[in-house]
Structure 1
Amino acid sequence: MLAETICSAVSAAGLGIAAITAYRKRFLTATRIAAYSLVPVGLVMTGVVDWVSGIVFKPSVWIGFALLAAAWLLFMTTRAVERRRGSTRGERKAARAAERGAAVEPAASSPSLTSGAGASVPQAKDTGRKKPQQAAAPGDDFSDIEAILKKHGI
């Protein structure tokens, strides 16, 4: 009963404001205000206000909403924990085994300064002139990249 009275008063006030706005020759704005002010009366006449007030003022409804919120919270928590852990235990064990098997030490990126017999190669003196650099073998260029990709299982 109180909700219906409040809605009727709001509608009457809105129609009064619409009349004043129309008097000031702002017909488009007055029409819009009148449309908004008729909504509360329409809600009262359709019974929506009774339905909403029945929901709002019943403690059992609020307990139901609280239980739904708790269920949603538990569901989202379990999903977050599941994502953080990864997958199931069997899949985790398989992933660990694959990591152990795929671990490869990266190859040396710079050429060795010793010959096959173990003797060191003498360094050339710097004469001040720039010498053209020798091209590396094609297999040596990508050995580091291949080692990194193998390390990550790609």
Structure 2
Amino acid sequence: MLTSTVCAAVSAAGLAVAALTAYRKRFLAAMRIAAFALIPIGLAMTGIIDWITGLVLKPTVWAGFGLLALSVVLFMIGRAVERRRGGVGSRKERRAAASARGAAVSPGASAPSLGAGRTAAGSAGPAKGKTAPEDDFSDIEAILKKHGI
């Protein structure tokens, strides 16, 4: 009941400010102020304000939030201890899985595609007009030196 009264008072004050603003021929600003002024009374009439105040002012709700926070902290501590001990997902198991995964891939699988009919040994050098990657980096280095970086 008190929250509804406060919301009504805030809305009335906002509408008064909007009326004064409209009196000064600033209609667009007055419309915006009136829109904002109607929000508190609208929330009070829908019952959202009572729900929020009931949520915030109940000690059992805060105790529930505290228990949820405690459970998250305990879960994180358990995961940290498990990793230190070498439990599920230990470093040894991860290294073994990575080495098994690496052996399954063929050595040429990560080589770039050279296009149809071209092989690594038979490919020509860089095309005319294009520079090698080393030249690109020297250009970048020159630009950085020019700017003092």
Residue 75 of structure 1, CA deviation: 2.7
Residue 2 of structure 1, CA deviation: 1.0
- Residue deviations 1:34-81 (CA, integer Å, cap 9, x gap): 011100101111011111111122111110011111122233344455
Q: Distance in 2 between matches of 1:83 and 1:31?
A: 59
Write the letter of the residue equivalent to 1:66: G
Is 1:56 aligned to 2:43, yes or no? Answer: no
Alignment correspondent of 1:6:
6
* Seq. identity, %: 59
TM-score normalized by the length of structure 2: 0.54
- Residue deviations 1:58-113 (CA, integer Å, cap 9, x gap): 111110011111122233344455567777376527849xxxxxxxxxxxxxxxxx
8 Å Cα contact 2:18/2:33 also seen in 1: yes
Q: Show the 5 A alignment for 1:49-88.
A: 49-80=49-80, 88=88
Stretches of structure 2 lacking an aligned partner (at least 5 in a row) = 97-149
Q: Distance in 1 between matches of 2:77 and 2:90?
A: 22
Q: Which has the higher contact order (CA 8 A, sep 6+)?
A: 1
The Cα RMSD (Å) is: 3.1
Structure (1 or 2) with the larger CA radius of gyration: 1
Q: Show the 5 A alignment for 1:4-153.
A: 4-80=4-80, 88=88, 91-92=91-92, 95=95
Write the letter of the residue equivalent to 1:67: L
TM-score normalized by the length of structure 1: 0.53
Secondary structure in 2 matching 1:3: helix
Write the letter of the residue equivalent to 1:50: D
Q: Distance in 2 between matches of 1:11 and 1:77?
A: 48
Q: Distance in 2 between matches of 1:42 and 1:11?
A: 9
Residue 17 of structure 1, CA deviation: 0.6
Stretches of structure 1 lacking an aligned partner (at least 5 in a row) = 97-154
